[in-house]
A = this chain, B = another copy of it.
Amino acid sequence: MINTLYLPELREMLAADDVAGLREFCSALHAGRTADFMEGLTHSEAWAVLRAADRPTRVEIFGFLDEDAQVEILETGDPAEIAELIADMPPDDRVDLLNEVNPQVVETVLPLIPTEERRDILRLRAYPEGTAGSVMTTEVARLPETLTVRAALEEISRQSQDLETIYYIYIVDSENHLRGLVSARQLVTHLGKPETLLSDLMKRDLVTVEAIDDQETVAEKVADFDFLAIPVVDAEQHLVGIITHDDVIDVLQEEATEDAYLAGAVEPLEESYMDTPLFHLTRLRAGWLTVLFGFALLTALALESYRDALEAVWLVWFLPLVISSGGNTGSQSVTLIIRALTTKEITPEDWLAVVWRELLMGIFLGAFLAAIGYAAGYFLAPSPADALVIPITLMLVVICGAILGALLPLMFQRMGLDPALMSTPFVAGIVDIVGILLYMNVAIYLLDSVQ
């Protein structure tokens, strides 16, 4: 996957200390592409290349390097140069990155960063991970409502270098209370009337989030309203930052990954699969696996208590079939319901409608599987009458699987827990136990040979 196209040239230029050549390489392409082309270099080579670039280009390319490279460069580079680089980085990105860097290095570098930037870093680091405050940037365009369009454009043009986006301009009063929003689009369309006041243009009905809000809520608001950015305020409506569309995409991807891991009964990883140390990954898996094993131990106890019924050995042949049918139906239901809860399509209050739907679907699906199951039982059971145990149990087990798979995540949500904790294997494990109880009792009831 690593692009090696420019590696020999880059190494030659590094060996020859060809600063002009390296500088040209850095500025020729989109920064994201330049970073891709540098992937094959060692981290110290990459930093040597970046040092040849001018400061804005250097920090832009640095932002596209992968996190390992970024961390190593910060940990091994000259502290004064590193401080300069950090001062140039977007406020939200540098705080995320500093959290990954050896704390001793951070302590060495922080005092070398200009006071204002340093304060900003310390302030943002105070927000807990997963909150709006932890993903926002503080570099936001703020203007008073008394400016004209002309003055606003001049001011924005002057500040542009330090702003994450100039496309949404926030109107604040003298105490930094958020009053309104003017878009760059409005300014441009009013170029013909440059004396228009911002107060005449600004939208006053703003959708905002608080710094302590969950980042997932924030991402959903931006996604619903198609915003470029959303303003973050504190409890007194002071404008403290903004969260931009690219950060929202990151949050959505992060949450999707987390939900996917939970669905498979894996404690979410912080790093990627290959980068997570083997022992750490094993521990992340062991927790849920042990819980699931605990449930499975109950199946052993349940079966042990039906030891007499199991003397009819043909019943054993169908045991995995019967319980997995319930588990699979439950897996489907839990998947559907968690997704509907995540997208806020349903709430725990809708439980009755949901159970009704699952009951009907369970009846249809159970009847269908029961028909196939009876055909198999017909050949393997001692008599066609005995074989009836299979379809009857399948019917009951599939219905129970459908309803339990729907109710369990609704209950979790209701209790204030993350419904995504209801993983597919977890629901299947619970339904396994129910399946065994149903199977054994149907057999005892129907079969003369079984007590």
Contact = CB atoms under 8 A, between A and B. Distances in A.
Interface of A: 1, 28-30, 32-33, 64, 153-154, 156-157, 160, 166-167, 184-185, 187-192, 203, 205-207, 222-226, 228, 245-246, 248-250, 252-253, 256-257, 259-261, 263-266, 269, 272-274, 278-279, 281-282, 285-286, 288-290, 292-293, 296-297, 299-301, 303-304, 307, 310-311, 313-314, 316-321, 323-325, 327-329, 331-332, 334-340, 343-347, 350, 353, 357, 360-361, 364-365, 368-369, 372-373, 376, 380, 424-425, 428-429, 432, 436
Given A261-B335, A278-B357, 19 more contacts: A1-B347, A30-B225, A166-B188, A187-B188, A223-B246, A226-B246, A245-B249, A248-B249, A257-B339, A264-B424, A289-B329, A289-B332, A293-B372, A300-B317, A303-B320, A304-B380, A319-B319, A324-B425, A327-B428
A313 B306 CA distance: 10
A34 to B, nearest CB: 9
A102 to B, nearest CB: 24
A33 B274 CA distance: 44
> Within the oligomer, what is the number of copies of this chain?
2
Nearest to A281: B361
B345 A321 contact: no
16 contacts: A156-B188, A157-B188, A157-B192, A166-B188, A245-B246, A252-B252, A260-B263, A263-B335, A273-B339, A273-B346, A285-B329, A289-B365, A293-B373, A297-B376, A319-B320, A327-B425
Contacts of A252: 249, 252-253, 256
A300 B156 contact: no
Contacts of A250: 223
Contact of A307 (B261, B313, B324): B313
Contacts of A364: 279, 282, 286
A402 B307 CA distance: 32
Contact of A249 (B249, B269, B335): B249
Contacts of A245: 228, 245-246, 249
A343 to B, nearest CB: 7
| Most chain B CB atoms below 10 A, which of A285, A328, A331, A336 | A328
A331 B205 contact: no
Contacts of A157: 188-192
Contacts of A301: 317
A281 B364 CA distance: 11
Contacts of A293: 321, 325, 328, 369, 372-373
